[in-house]
Amino acid sequence: MTPHPHGPQHPGPRTGHPGHPGYAGHAGHGGHSAAGGHTGSTGTEPDWDALAVHLEREAELKAPFLEEAAAWLHDLLGPLDVTRVLDLGSGPGVTTVALAHAFPGAETVAVDGSPVLLERARARSEREGLAARITTRAAELPAALPDLGTAELIWTSNVVHHLGDQRAALETFAAALRPGGVLAVREGGLPTRFLPRDIGVGRPGLQARLDAAEEDGFSAMRAELPDHTGTVEDWPALLAAAGLAPTGSRTFLTDLPAPLDPVARAHVRARVERLRESLADALSAEDLATLDTLLDDTAAEGLLRRPDVFFLTATTVHTAVRA
């Protein structure tokens, strides 16, 4: 599915809160969405061809975090013989590849609802020489999970928040774990930062106001989901309620300081452009004008030219084991 900075980046599970593609801000996951077809308040399906580039680039920027998280999960599973890994909401497969490298004896399955993203996952696995160990499955979650079989490790990247009943979804995922297996839930963290508080254009505190608008949009998205159920997002408690034993949460930092390289800078610009489009009705005229200045590639204050653009975010992963 998609993902929320509280957790880039999917509807149904493909939406986009500062962490969902459906909204402009977040895409990332290295992940996308396998759950369904919700795309935010408009109800329209995202342009996955265009969005795939954004999702893959954000996941690549966060590749060190994904590798570190995969190594942590490897240590957490310890002596258990891991023969199968499910990457739910795999998106373009950046996380899938990291998991396949960490578990060389396992079949790793990329599961997503977008054929476009799964094709990118297949291409990436071939480039990495992992095509023999990585398979892809098109599926809508959580309904299709029983057809995917069981695994020693199940990774979900910003997927659960795209499902109306988050507790029930975790129970479904937990049921697919083999004894001793681990469920890793990537949810939460901190919103991405890319500019100082005062950027010399418009009113200071622009990103805080963008965050607030995205949070409102995310809440509206959640409220529209089928079977929406209000849930306190205490992820360790939810994992325990699903019958698992929590084994810890870790937050991983992605810190790309200024001045950004051209690839990361272009990604930040694309992210801001999506924010400008998705939040146009929620921002003041002054803030919209500021965003237009930032998106002006000829302006010294624009994102492609100003020297103070950075990329900083924190991603949290919660884990639990099936006794």
- So what's the pLDDT on residue 12? 35
Say if 64 falls within a structural domain.
yes
Domain residue limits at 170: 48-322
259: cis peptide before it, omega within 30°?
A: yes
Residue 21 scores a pLDDT above 60: no
Say if 85 falls within a structural domain.
yes
- So what's the pLDDT on residue 49? 73
Residue 13 scores a pLDDT above 50: no
Which CATH number do you get for residue 282? 3.40.50.150
- How many domains is the chain built from? 1
- Cα separation, 294 vs 173, in Å, equals 42
Say if 69 falls within a structural domain.
yes
Say if 199 falls within a structural domain.
yes
Tens of pLDDT, residue by residue over 90-104, are 999 999 999 999 999
pTM of the model: 0.87
Mean pLDDT value of segment 8-16:
35
- For every residue of 12-51, DSSP letters joined together read TTB--STT-TTSSS--TTS----S----STT-PPP-HHHH
Say if 307 falls within a structural domain.
yes
- So what's the pLDDT on residue 45? 59
Residue 245 scores a pLDDT above 70: yes
Say if 32 falls within a structural domain.
no
- 3-state SS of 234-267 is CHHHHHHHCCCEEEEEEEEEEEECCCCCHHHHHH
